[in-house]
Amino acid sequence: MSAISRTVLREQVKDVLLQRIVSGELKPGERLVETRIASELGTSQAPVREALRDLELLRMVESEPFRGARVRAFGDDELIEVYPVRAVLEELAAKEASKLLDGDVAVLEREVDEMRAAARRGDLNALVRHDIAFHRLMVEAAGNPVLEQCWKSLGVEGRITISLYGTYVEPDEAAEKHVPILEAIRSRKPGAAGREARRHVEEFARIARQRAKRAEAATR
């Protein structure tokens, strides 16, 4: 197998597993057995092993000697700690994207439309996928590989989103919460785009903190 095809396979396996983790199909603590995954996806164990290693770097998977890999569980405290970092990164991403996209927001607008459609269908998993895609595409549009790598290394943006939608945020509000960012980028206003992106993340941070407080109160 060539190095290129092996790399492509690794990325494909990683994307499949990441989607299953984000959607909740693979639960926190669930074992990820290389042989089983390789058999299901019709590949050898090598790209599966490499994909699991990549997911471990993204903090989506954890592994222990002699026990293998498992889907990593996240506590509320850890999730809350991510928000300030994410807010800063996405503020910068929105500023830079508004400069480089030059008003062409078709790819971002498509994700907003897909979020609306998913909410109408009551498809929470699809809603989450397109929410994540919106933010990922915005970060990629910033044209800064270091920024993109830092954002991706947080590794928990999907879990943060799916843990709040459907319980603390109404699904039909999801797309509309992205519109101010979209319109600021469309209008080529870097400062406004950055502020809206930061405000968006900070709003979810407040919701997550409220959830954590309620959960703590319930255990007393």
- Cα separation, 201 vs 131, whole angstroms: 12
Q: What mean pLDDT value characterizes the chain?
A: 87
Please write the tens of the pLDDT for every residue from 181-197. Answer: 999 999 999 999 999 99
Of 23 and 124, the structure prediction assigns the larger pLDDT to: 124
Amino acid 158: pLDDT: 58
The amino acid occupying position 7 is T
Map out the domains of the chain as residue ranges.
3-71, 76-218
Please give the structure tokens belonging to residue 162: 């799916």
Of 27 and 218, the structure prediction assigns the larger pLDDT to: 27
- Cα separation, 92 vs 142, whole angstroms: 8
pLDDT-derived band at 6, boundaries 50, 70, 90: low
Q: Is 15 helix (H, G, I), strand (E, B) or coil?
A: helix
- Cα separation, 60 vs 157, whole angstroms: 10
Q: 143 and 109 in contact (C-beta within 8 Å)?
A: no
Count of C-beta atoms within a 10 Å radius of residue 154: 15
- Cα separation, 214 vs 8, whole angstroms: 44
Of 135 and 76, the structure prediction assigns the larger pLDDT to: 135
Main-chain phi, psi angles of 32, to 5 degrees: -115, 100
Please write the tens of the pLDDT for every residue from 93-143. Answer: 999 999 999 999 999 999 999 999 999 998 887 888 889 899 999 999 999
Task: Give me the residue label for tokens 């830092």.
Answer: 150
Please write the tens of the pLDDT for every residue from 131-173. Answer: 989 999 999 999 999 999 999 888 766 566 666 666 678 888 9
Torsion of CA 186, 192, 198, 203, to 10 degrees: -90
Check: CATH 1.10.10.10 for 3-71?
yes
Is residue 45 over pLDDT 80? yes
Amino acid 82: pLDDT: 87
pTM of the model: 0.76
Amino acid 113: pLDDT: 97
pLDDT-derived band at 7, boundaries 50, 70, 90: low
pLDDT-derived band at 1, boundaries 50, 70, 90: very low
Q: In the CATH scheme, what architecture does the domain 76-218 have? A: Up-down Bundle (1.20)
